[in-house]
Structure 1
Amino acid sequence: MKKHYFKSSMMATLMATALCTGIASCSDKDDVESTLNPAERTVSQAKKHDTALLLCTFGSTYKESLSVYDDVMNDFKKEFPDVDIYMSFTSRTCINRVQAATGIERYELDQWLKAIGNAGYKRVAVQSLHVIPGEEYLSLMNTDIKKYFMIQWFPHIDVLRGANLLSEEEDTKMVADVLYSHYAERLSDKNHIVLLMGHGNPDENYSANQKYAEVQKALQAKAAHKNIFVGTVDYGDMLFWPKEVEENPADRLTDVRTVRSQYPNCIYSQIMQYCEDNGLQPAHVKVYIAPFMSIAGDHAHNDLWGLKALAEGADVNKVELNTNEYSWRERLEKIGFQVQEDFESHPIKEAGADHGIADGCGIRALGSYPEIRRIWVKHLREQWDANAWENGKDYQ
């Protein structure tokens, strides 16, 4: 009786111990898996070569960006067939929202870099898809790539860094050639104006903003009527309305001639001066608007076209020109210009679509032009052919 009780007790104890151990093991495994870098599996499954290429862009939650990013990836795959290619967003905000909008999972830049570094690659190329050498670009190359990846994390891996779109004077000329060719027919009529909206850096200390002025100069040198202008959504001197008024709408300037004399570089001043110089009234001028950005994302849809306002049926007559609450389209129409929707625009019936539409959007961004995408490819190819690889040991 005692022996039977002893054996039963021992068996129960062993089973309980095993059960507890099993539970603990599963719990520990879950904890480990929950802390794993999600990019590790993607990289380990995709790895086929000894060299990796990470394309880095600010990112977007808009569905229109998908085809452009696919085109960019395909361009680099054709040029570098023996390289494993990945794409990362540098904007955490975009990463956090993009899966819900597009269904595509994006990883943070440091997750991509650590996954690629741990995968056993001997060489890693990093290509910027930024337009200007501004804050985002410099942070990517000097902090994320050089300081962390090359020096702190993987000093033994050779790295190649590809420049942003407008890194050289030749790039400005090439971009201007492409855009002028695209708008040439419309620019031949002085009653037409083309407006391009770049992003820009809010910090005026970044000389990178000068790149927009250089592009405008190159475009106007080609256009006989000089009727094409480049502004920004985030840089004071090149906003639609003067920075001082945009930031302090309570101190609005009502004398528009004062605005034009004190702030000649803002878009409003430039287009009104153009009309005056050519004896035109805004009502007689057709305006074509497009983003001077890599993709047609939030800025293109809302800050440029004001699609949210279109979807909500906003009355343009109630728009106040000198506030930052309205899109360029709304302000232009308030002044009296004819903003053209038959050339490149978002379908009005889809204006209320959350995060844009995957197909059918006519807004054309820089990444939509094969010739412009090739400039990014060219930058990396030039570095590649120059054998400009380096590693963290060079800085230690």
Structure 2
Amino acid sequence: MKKFKHVWLAALLMASTFGFTACDDDDDKGNDASSSNPAIEVVAKAKKHDTAILLCTFGSTFKESIKTYDNILADYEDAFPDADVYLSFTSRTCVNRVYAETGIDRFPPDLWLQALGSANYKKVAVQSLHIIPGEEFLSLMNTDVKKEFMIKQFPHIQVAKSPCLVYNEDDVQAVSEVLYDHYKDNLADKKQIVLLMGHGNPDKNYNANSKYTEVEEAMQALATNKNVFVGTVDYGDMLFWPLDKDEQPLPTPNAESVYSKLTKYCEDNNLQPSDITISLAPFMSIAGDHAHNDLWGIEDGDDFSAATPGADACWRLKLLKMGFKISTVESHNGSVDKCTINGLGDYPSIRKIWVNHLKDIYNDADEWQTGEDYQ
């Protein structure tokens, strides 16, 4: 974990070069913080301790995600009884929609942090619930936390930054072992494949995309048949089928694409797609929009006639078009439209890895810094 602190200077430059584009935000906070920031009143009422933990994730508008987030919150509250725990959405679109539909206040990180500072917390730990150390992670830690909160607004407050799920080699191995253990019965059969969908950063400058490959390789090292693959919904080289700069399907798929990996697996094992059943799952914190629409296409029905590998269709229909069978073992009565999709945050063992990230630094005085340290 010591190595974690040394990447911040380089990462800050990167974060300032590539703008954060999670949503269209209105950053005008006005002059009266108490009236323009509703999080201030929420924190003032909830404050019980001198230490706060702010969990930060992109967010989701799916109601199914509420249970996942509640479980994550409960894990941190149990592990850190001396701290007040809050959950933030970096997507303001998700913040607004969730509040409109459920009445739950999530708030973006900048509002939570301003409220925590105004409530006179002495220490604030920021825990990333992102999967890889990509654009959103860097923007959170270097802009919202370091630049705005620590240096500009509250330089006297001690802050600890806890990394995302898959940050280093130990994380790759730990996450891979959890997923392998979950799917080991499937992976023992050469005629079954586990296919995971990560989000990915579209810009190749974010080396964080390599974490997907590292997880795939680590899981293949555990699975004798090497029948597990990771693709992404937003990173060019690891899409189902690669696209050109105008987002049109290329004539030839690259080796890292999902299509190429599956095709090569069939060739290497002398199998036809019709011989193989694929288990689909998101490699994301929660099963939200991408999992339900881009991966499973819950509302797309079963007509895969037009779902060629390069078409604008969900992965499930593309796989059916290629001839693969899709496992619905984890669904209710085998019905795709009632399928229960699990995100990584639904695995207690995965959540424990996140919690342990913060445990590793929580009682280490050297891991807590103030804005004055940077000045």
The 1:179–1:344 alpha-carbon spacing in structure 2 relative to 1, beyond 3 Å, is farther
For 2:280, what is the secondary structure of its paired residue? strand
The 1:147–1:245 alpha-carbon spacing in structure 2 relative to 1, beyond 3 Å, is closer
For 1:127, what is the secondary structure of its paired residue? strand
For 1:300, what is the secondary structure of its paired residue? helix
For 2:61, what is the secondary structure of its paired residue? coil
In structure 2, what is the Cα distance between the partners aligned to 1:157 and 1:115?
13
Pairing 1:316–2:294 present: no
Is contact 1:296-1:365 (8 Å) kept?
A: yes
Match of 1:42 in 2: 42
TM-score with structure 1 length normalisation? 0.83
How far has the Cα of 1:103 moved from its partner?
Answer: 3.5
Pairing 1:70–2:49 present: no
In structure 1, what is the Cα distance between the partners aligned to 2:179 and 2:187?
11
In structure 2, what is the Cα distance between the partners aligned to 1:123 and 1:33?
21
Identity of counterpart residues, as a percentage?
A: 55
Amino acid at match of 2:147: K
The 1:237–1:149 alpha-carbon spacing in structure 2 relative to 1, beyond 3 Å, is same
How far has the Cα of 1:341 moved from its partner?
Answer: 1.5
RMSD value over aligned CA atoms?
2.0
How far has the Cα of 1:117 moved from its partner?
Answer: 0.5
Match of 1:364 in 2: 342
Give the counterpart of 1:306 among 270, 281, 297.
297
Mean Cα displacement is larger for which, 273-282 or 378-387? 378-387
Amino acid at match of 2:228: I
For 2:329, what is the secondary structure of its paired residue? coil
Match of 2:355 in 1: 377
Match of 2:237 in 1: 237
Higher helix residue share: 1
In structure 1, what is the Cα distance between the partners aligned to 2:44 and 2:262?
53
Match of 2:370 in 1: 391
Match of 2:136 in 1: 136
- Any residues of structure 2 matched to 1:223-302 within 5 Å, and which? 223-244=223-244, 247-249=247-249, 252-253=250-251, 258-259=252-253, 263-302=254-293
Q: Which stretches in structure 1 are left out of the alignment for 5+ residues?
A: 1-30, 352-360
Q: Which stretches in structure 2 are left out of the alignment for 5+ residues?
A: 1-30
In structure 2, what is the Cα distance between the partners aligned to 1:138 and 1:147?
12
The 1:213–1:333 alpha-carbon spacing in structure 2 relative to 1, beyond 3 Å, is same
Is contact 1:61-1:297 (8 Å) kept?
A: yes
Amino acid at match of 1:63: K
In structure 2, what is the Cα distance between the partners aligned to 1:102 and 1:368?
21
In structure 1, what is the Cα distance between the partners aligned to 2:297 and 2:202?
21
The 1:246–1:287 alpha-carbon spacing in structure 2 relative to 1, beyond 3 Å, is farther
Amino acid at match of 2:115: A
Is contact 2:328-2:336 (8 Å) kept?
A: no
Match of 1:175 in 2: 175
Is contact 1:346-1:362 (8 Å) kept?
A: no
Amino acid at match of 1:273: K
In structure 1, what is the Cα distance between the partners aligned to 2:245 and 2:209?
20
Match of 2:24 in 1: none
Mean Cα displacement is larger for which, 373-382 or 210-219? 373-382
Amino acid at match of 2:57: T
For 2:184, what is the secondary structure of its paired residue? helix
Is contact 1:95-1:107 (8 Å) kept?
A: yes
For 2:171, what is the secondary structure of its paired residue? helix
How far has the Cα of 1:383 moved from its partner?
Answer: 1.1
Is contact 1:52-1:84 (8 Å) kept?
A: yes
In structure 1, what is the Cα distance between the partners aligned to 2:154 and 2:352?
30
Is contact 1:54-1:88 (8 Å) kept?
A: yes
Match of 1:27 in 2: none
TM-score with structure 2 length normalisation? 0.87
How far has the Cα of 1:109 moved from its partner?
Answer: 1.9
